[in-house]
Amino acid sequence: MARKNIFGAEPDVSAGSDADVPIADIRPLANFERPLRRSGPVGALSQSLGNISEKAQRADDLEKKLADSQVIVELDPAVVDSSFVPDRLVGDPDGLDTLVGQIREHGQQVPILVRPHPDVEGRYQVAYGHRRLAAIKKIGGTVKAVIRSLSDEQLVVSQGQENNARTDLSYIERTFFALRLERRGFARDIIMSSLGVDKAALSRMIALATSLPDELIQAIGPAPGYGRTRWAELAELIDNASKKSKALKLIHAEAFHGLSSDERFEHIFEQLRTAKPKARTAQWKAGGSKAVKITETDAHLTLNFNKAALPDFGAFVEKRLEQLYEEFLEGKKELKA
């Protein structure tokens, strides 16, 4: 992804390069006061965060630290690990092959951003540029990178803002990334800055991701053709343990794995969206009056006694439920005999 004033000079973004977005209005990383876009929910977030001096000061400090390193180095891809919080689901092989072809022809135009691995000496962790790293691994050779000392907070903010600027993550990938960050204990304001969303939008994203099994989201993958509305509809379909169990069985079918990510979503959605059978209704009459209304579903059979027609009949049946139950059991024994 192309960035302005991040590495001290603007990278070449000629046609066919792996810099997938034009350089425009992209701020320095982790700029809490001035988010990547000027309007919309992020603008509202910018204004609210700007009123909090402590967070504004932290953003300034972060920005200065991120601007310190400007040297592009070449690293062995074998010593570079992914971020500790994945932001992508199942990859798009065709999309990666396209990127591989672009880099073969034009070279790696935009360096990736890494930090020294916090736990393993001599290794590095990617903040952004995972697809470029994967493409270089397929091609062979070294990967161009900028190395910076980043805290966990700085890494996830830069990681999220890079993807937010490129807008190439699907809705469910961004949503699941938000949930993963929350599970890691990151504060909501950090997650909002990373994703470029306001408080209400983030709450909806996390609530949706929480309502779906992790295994189901990961099995379906990014599903780029489906946004918030359709994922919310899928969550509504999985409204009980039975439907959830059915969905998880579907993802283990052999045919499921041969589908594209969008096709996997559609398959699960259609299988769960089975029409519920209509309830059976009937009337039991006594002396020409509708004395009892009968309603039957898969789970219940309801007798609704009309007290206006037969005032005492419901109470009469209620008192004899035990006797009726005994007669029911006797009848089952006779059938087995």
Residue range 229-288, pLDDT digits in tens = 999 999 999 877 888 888 999 999 888 888 989 999 999 999 888 655 567 889 989 888
Tokens standing for residue 101: 């072809």
Q: Which of 46-50, 89-93, 143-147 has the lowest mean pLDDT?
A: 46-50
Tokens standing for residue 269: 């959605």
Q: What is the DSSP pairing of strand 80-81 with strand 124-128?
A: parallel
Using an 8 Å Cβ cutoff, are 143 and 73 in contact?
no
Classify the C-alpha dihedral 206-207-210-212 as positive or negative. Answer: negative
Q: Which of 135-144, 157-166, 189-198 has the lowest mean pLDDT?
A: 157-166
201: confidence class by pLDDT, cuts 50, 70, 90: very high
Which residue has better confidence, 38 or 68?
Answer: 68
Which residue has better confidence, 147 or 66?
Answer: 147
DSSP assignment letter at 332: H
Q: How far apart are CA 84 and CA 151, in angstroms?
A: 12
What is the pLDDT, as a whole number, of residue 297? Answer: 80
What is the pLDDT, as a whole number, of residue 164? Answer: 62
What is the pLDDT, as a whole number, of residue 214? Answer: 93
Q: How high is the mean pLDDT of the chain? A: 78
What is the pLDDT, as a whole number, of residue 4? Answer: 40
Buried b (16+ CB within 10 A) or exposed e, 73-88: eebebeebeebbbebb
Domains of the chain: 41-211 (3.90.1530.10), 214-272 (no CATH), 280-336 (no CATH)
User: Around Cβ 172, how many Cβ atoms within 10 Å?
Assistant: 28
What is the pLDDT, as a whole number, of residue 117? Answer: 93
What is the pLDDT, as a whole number, of residue 258? Answer: 85
Q: How far apart are CA 153 and CA 191, in angstroms?
A: 9
Using an 8 Å Cβ cutoff, are 195 and 177 in contact?
yes
What is the pLDDT, as a whole number, of residue 154? Answer: 87
Most confident residue range from 6-20, 120-134, 201-215, 299-313: 201-215
74 Cβ contact partners less than 8 Å away, ≥ 6 residues apart = 142, 143, 144, 145
User: Around Cβ 292, how many Cβ atoms within 10 Å?
Assistant: 20
Percent residues over pLDDT 90 in the chain: 36
